[in-house]
Amino acid sequence: MENATKALLMAGGVLIAILIISIAVFLFTTYGSLGQSYEQTLSKTEIQKFNGNFTKFEGREDISIQEIVTLTNFVRDYNIETDEKIEIKLGGENLEKETSDELAGKVKDNMGKTYKAIISSYSRLVEKITFMET
């Protein structure tokens, strides 16, 4: 009788251990995927926020040259910091490669003109934005 009691206690201990391990594996997989989905959501939010710097110009036909130069300086800084390159064009000219003095000349030459933005298709980040005179 004593041996049967010990055998039942050992079997119960094994079952409890298996139950605890199963719960631990379940919690690990559940919370592991939760963290991954949170990271993906955060990444999407950051991309939308970054693209918002450009998409705010879509549909507008009253964009001033000062706004274009401000965006050009933002893009120039971004291009220096990262490997990804964004192009800003005014008509057919690449603005992000111009010096500050050349951009100041653009402001003088184009004061009072208004522009509209054409954003190239993008899968993740905006790759190219072209400003055309309205």
Kindly state the tokens that stand for 30.
Answer: 């559940």
Kindly state the tokens that stand for 27.
Answer: 């919690």
Question: In the prediction, which pLDDT does 72 show?
Answer: 92
Question: In the prediction, which pLDDT does 33 show?
Answer: 74
* 60 shares its domain with 113: yes
Question: In the prediction, which pLDDT does 16 show?
Answer: 95
User: Secondary structure of the chain: what % helix, strand, coil (to 5)?
Assistant: 60, 15, 25
Question: In the prediction, which pLDDT does 17 show?
Answer: 95
* 105 shares its domain with 75: yes
* 3 shares its domain with 50: yes
Tally of domains in the chain: 2
Question: In the prediction, which pLDDT does 39 show?
Answer: 67
* 18 shares its domain with 61: no
How far, rounded to the nearest angstrom, does the alpha carbon of residue 121 sit from its chain's CA centroid? 15
Tell me the CA end-to-end span of the chain in Å, nearest whole number: 97
Expressed as residue numbers, the domain containing 16 is: 1-55
Question: In the prediction, which pLDDT does 73 show?
Answer: 92
How confident is the prediction along the chain (134 residues), in pLDDT tens digits per residue?
Answer: 678 888 889 999 999 999 999 999 998 888 777 667 766 666 888 888 888 999 899 888 999 999 999 999 999 988 888 877 889 999 888 888 888 888 888 888 888 899 999 998 677 788 899 999 88
Q: What is the pTM of this model?
A: 0.66
